[in-house]
Amino acid sequence: MSVSRNREDGPLSGLTVIDASTLFAGPLAAMHLGDFGARVIKVEHPSKPDPSRGHGAAKNGVNLWWKTLGRNKECVTCNLSSPSGKDVFLRLVERADVLIENFRPGTLERWGLDPEVLHERNPRLVLARVTGFGQFGPYAHRPGFGTLAESMSGFASMTGEPDGPPTLPPFGLADGITSLATAYAVMTALHDRDRTGKGGIVDLSILEPMLAVLGPQISRWDQLRTIQPRTGNRSSNNAPRNVYRTRDRQWVAVSTSAQSIAERVVDLVGRPDFISEPWFATGAGRAAHVEELDEAVGSWIAQRDRDDVIAAFTQAQAAIAPIYTAEDIVNDPQLNAIGAIQKIEDNDFGQMLMQGPLFRYSEKDATISFTGRAHGADTDSVLEELGFNKADINILRAEGAI
């Protein structure tokens, strides 16, 4: 699907978001807002661009992650620690609805850009502050990254094989989840602003969204003094739930969170006798007999090719999915049908595929107007909107403010 639509009718059109954050959680949140029509102005240091521009794979020296992360963002350079750069930034703030930043606590304050100054310029501004551990507390000034949140949230402790070490994800899981939480927090604050007429401050650590998605581990420890063990690809709550290898050396994943699905699976693989066992009636009971169930399901799948396995499960209305790589994802008909994969025009590569926006909303589809732009590509045009003439801009550039 190739997308190039007018952004003025997006559900968030009319909102202006300043993305002064770096790497992933904040920039991803701004990307989500931009997908639905918000104008996003990416502010970077003149000589120290967002490190995400150099993160991961590149083609012909052009970073590919930034193409997605920077989509729909106008790119401006501004040295917030210089007096002239501070003035430019405050002029941007005057016209903005949202500012997303992830500097260590106290950094904006040191530059004379504390929340009181920002709200004096723009009382309706929503300031979203995304940090490792929050704006206060004993860890507030520690450097914070997603890996630390994945470690301290309990995620790593419960992930991995039973006899193996705790396992970290090979991608920015905490940052990705935090980006969704940040976008949600911003919209909550904007609704409150519409109700009260005053902007507010969002204080969000990357640790808290991870805690939110990891289930009742805290309540479990409080009430039972037990900790969820590492179970590999199995579940401690139900079975069969695992990945299984097919005859043609492919992998599939099976889930039986619902009792009816569990019954369909064992019936399909030739073991309907399990259904009459008292332990089969609950997820916990099935999890206690996981070896028997995995043997039955795994041996049946191992005798068949992947496509045949999926066809049989689908016909039986049992839950199964192939283990995909990116190559499989871009060719999947369902993901293409709903616009999860989109083909976007790009200045460097002509066209490129990337994941689409998060959801669809009535007739007001999200829009990817352009991919990530060069560092400072829009500085002059944005500053001209703020009232700077070309001579002013040249002076600012000579001073290193932009």
CATH number of the domain to which 315 belongs? 3.30.1540.10
Residue 30 shares a structural domain with residue 146: yes
Residue 152, CB-side half-sphere exposure with 13 Å CA sphere:
14
Exposed e or buried b for every residue in 106-143, given b needs 16+ CB within 10 A?
ebbeebebebeebbebbeebbbbbbbbbbeeeeebeee
**Residue 299 located in a structural domain:** yes
Its sign, for the CA torsion 342, 169, 101, 82, is negative
Residues 294 and 158 in one domain: no
Q: Which pLDDT value is given to residue 145?
A: 92
In this structure, the answer to whether residues 154 and 300 fall within a common structural domain is no
User: Is 175 a known active-site residue?
Assistant: yes
Measure the CA–CA gap between 67 and 316, rounded to whole angstroms: 42
Work out the burial of residue 186: count CB atoms within 10 Å of its CB; fewer than 13 is exposed, 13-18 middle, 19 or more buried: buried
Q: Using the 8-state DSSP alphabet, how is residue 8 labeled?
A: G
How far is it, in rounded angstroms, from Cα 346 to Cα 344? 6
Residue where a domain terminates, one of 263, 295, 322 = 322
Instruction: Please give the pLDDT value at position 7.
Output: 63
Contact 190, 97 (CB under 8 A): yes
Choosing from 297, 322, 347, the residue where a domain stops is 322
* Inside any domain, residue 34: yes
Among 20, 70, 44, 26, smallest CA distance to 172 is for: 26
Co-location of 117 and 191 in the same domain? yes
In angstroms, rounded to a whole number, what is the distance separating the alpha carbons of residues 331 and 319? 21
Give Cβ neighbours of residue 306 (< 8 Å, ≥ 6 apart): 246, 248, 250, 251, 252, 322
Query: Are residue 169 and residue 292 in the same domain, yes or no?
Result: no
Q: Which two tokens stand for residue 352?
A: 């490129």
232: left (phi over 0), alpha (psi -120 to 50) or beta: left
Q: Compute CA 296 distance to the chain's CA centroid, rounded to the nearest angstrom.
A: 37
Spatial CB neighbours of 247, under 8 Å, sequence gap ≥ 6 = 302, 303, 304, 305
User: Does one domain contain both 279 and 388?
Assistant: no
159 by Cβ neighbours in 10 Å (0-12 / 13-18 / 19+) ranks as buried
pLDDT number for residue 227? 95
In angstroms, the CA 135 to CA 388 distance is 34
Instruction: Report if residue 143 sits inside a domain.
Output: yes
Residue 227 lies in a domain: no
Q: Is residue 374 part of a domain?
A: yes
For the purposes of burial, counting CB atoms within 10 Å of the CB of 217, is it exposed (0-12), middle (13-18) or buried (19 or more)? middle
- pLDDT confidence of residue 366: 85
CATH of the domain at 80: 3.40.50.10540
DSSP sequence for 179-245: HHHHHHHHHHHHHHHHHHS---EEEEESHHHHHHHS-SHHHHHHHH---PPP-TTS-SS-SS-EEEE
| Residues 167 and 44 occupy one common structural domain | yes
Strands (DSSP E) along 218-340, which ranges? 242-245, 251-254, 320-322
**What pLDDT sits at residue 4?**
40
176 with 318, same domain: the answer is: no
| Chain centroid offset of residue 384 CA | 33
- Provide the number of structural domains found in the chain: 2
Domain boundary among 295, 322, 349: 322
* CA terminus-to-terminus distance, the chain: 37
Check whether residue 168 and residue 24 sit in a common domain: yes
- Report if residue 355 sits inside a domain: no
- Number of Cβ within a 10 Å radius of residue 47: 9
Is 205 in the same domain as 311?
no
Instruction: Return the bridge partners of 58, or none.
Output: 63
Encoded tokens for 199: 């902007």
User: Do residues 275 and 389 share a domain?
Assistant: no
pLDDT one digit per residue (tens) for the chain, 402 residues: 333 445 678 999 999 999 999 999 999 999 999 999 999 999 999 999 999 999 999 999 999 999 999 999 999 999 999 999 999 999 999 999 999 999 999 999 999 999 999 999 999 999 999 999 999 999 999 999 999 999 999 999 999 999 999 999 999 999 999 999 999 999 999 999 999 999 999 999 999 999 999 999 999 999 999 999 999 999 989 999 999 999 999 999 999 999 999 999 999 999 999 999 999 999 999 999 999 999 999 999 999 999 999 999 999 999 999 999 999 999 999 999 999 999 999 999 999 999 999 999 988 778 899 999 999 999 999 999 999 999 999 999 999 999
Check 19, 175, 294, 365 and give the catalytic one.
Answer: 175
Asked if residue 150 is part of any domain, the answer here is yes
Has residue 231 been placed in a domain?
A: no
| Per-residue b or e along 320-337, where b marks 16 or more CB atoms closer than 10 Å to that residue's CB | bebeeeeeeebeeeebbe
Task: Give the span between the Cα atoms of 60 and 36, in whole angstroms.
Answer: 30
Domain that holds residue 201: 7-213+361-399
- Determine phi and psi for 343, rounding to 5 degrees: -105, 120
388 within 8 A of 395, measured Cβ to Cβ: no
Same domain, 113 and 195: yes
